[in-house]
Amino acid sequence: MYGDAADKLVADAKRSTQLTHLPLYQGELIQNIINETNDLQAEVEHLTNEEIVSQTQSQGDRTNQCQLFISHLAMRRNKRCLLAYQRYRAERLQYMSWLNNTTGITVDEPGAAPSGKAADSLNHNEEEYLKKYNELIINYNKEFNESLDLTGDIEPPKDIFIDVRVLKDVGEITTEYGVFNLTKDSQFFVRYNDVARLIQQGYLQRL
């Protein structure tokens, strides 16, 4: 029945609303749907040619056109499902960019190490999209220079200095209070502004 593959696609999108990470791009399924739509298009053309040749259609009677109509509806349906799937994934990508996730690698739980395999979950078009969108955000942020970081924490801060523990090796950071060598499992008492981004990216853990 026409529209079954499209339904599977939409069901996949719906399932991924429950997940924290973005699942694999359904390239194959989408190709199937596009093929199905192309078949429908060919059928539509064939039917319209038949109509013109046989001239059976009377002025108001649409019965013979019904088959045409149904193919047309099926095509519209496929288009709608494809667009909704793309749009949903694009929205997730936007959400990821605002969280400063520039690489497109998504993880199952926050704080877990990203696995190399997860990088395949995006289509190369989606990676382009993520990159360009990140650029847009950076450019927009430039207007405010240093005084405001739009991608920073949304919760209002409580303290100026906080305790952090290092989860992964980052190297050294330079602050006005000195140079900190951030090796794994060490703890520091640092100014919140300096380390906010690192916390967001998962390298440090706030205590």
CA–CA dist 189, 51 (Å, integer): 80
Least separation in angstroms between residue 74's CB and another protein is: 8
**Span from 10-18, 33-41, 101-109, 169-177 in contact with another protein (CB under 8 A):** 10-18
Give the residue with the Cβ less far from another protein, 3 or 114. Answer: 3
Least separation in angstroms between residue 190's CB and another protein is: 19
Return the residue of 24, 68, 173, 199 that touches another protein, per CB under 8 A: 68
Tokens 């942020």 sit on residue: 141
Least separation in angstroms between residue 180's CB and another protein is: 25
Tokens 């951030």 sit on residue: 182
Closest alpha carbon to 168 in 184, 179, 152: 184
Structure letter (DSSP) for residue 59 = S
Give the residue with the Cβ less far from another protein, 91 or 135. Answer: 91
- DSSP H helices in the chain: 4-16, 27-54, 66-98, 124-142, 192-201
For residue 103, give the 3-state DSSP assignment.
coil
Return the residue of 23, 32, 77, 205 that touches another protein, per CB under 8 A: 77
For 14, 29, 32, 85, the CA distances from 8, given in Å and listed in that order, are 10, 8, 11, 11
Give the residue with the Cβ less far from another protein, 72 or 197. Answer: 72
For 13, 49, 138, 143, 153, the CA distances from 149, given in Å and listed in that order, are 32, 60, 10, 10, 9
Return the residue of 19, 31, 41, 91 that touches another protein, per CB under 8 A: 91
Compute how many residues bind another protein; rule: CB under 8 A.
42
For 55, 98, 121, 154, 197, the CA distances from 151, given in Å and listed in that order, are 63, 6, 24, 8, 9
**Span from 11-19, 29-37, 124-132, 194-202 in contact with another protein (CB under 8 A):** 11-19
Q: Which residues bind another protein (CB under 8 A)?
A: 1, 3, 7, 10-11, 13-14, 17, 44, 48, 59-70, 72-74, 76-77, 80-81, 83-84, 87-88, 91, 94-95, 97-98, 154-156, 158
